Amino acid sequence: MITVYGLPRSRSTRALWALEEAGQAYEFIALNFAKGEQQADAYLVLNPGAKVPTLVEGDLILTESAAIVKAPLIIR
């Protein structure tokens, strides 16, 4: 299962849009920046820059929206 961590109305939307267009199933986890959820140790392991979006599928981790929309898992 593909998991996308993000923030509504941000560049995360770009990744979600690409996944929808590709017909890929995914889970979206909205981070609450006001509460500092992007600074949580568990998230920093995935994205040390503490930014969004972050896409995770198995061992694959992508942290740039431009890379996510070009990823083979979305293009297939």
Chain centre distance of CA 36: 17
CATH code reported for the domain at 2-75: 3.40.30.10
Domain range annotation of the chain: 2-75
Q: What pLDDT does residue 41 have?
A: 98
Q: What is the model's pTM? A: 0.91
Q: Tokens 């995770």, residue?
A: 56
> For residue range 6-27, what is the model confidence (pLDDT) as tens digits?
999 999 999 999 999 999 999 9
In this structure, are residues 60 and 76 in contact, taking their beta carbons and an 8 Å threshold? Answer: no
For residue 74, name the pLDDT band (cuts at 50, 70, 90): confident
> For residue range 29-64, what is the model confidence (pLDDT) as tens digits?
999 999 999 999 999 999 999 999 999 999 999 999
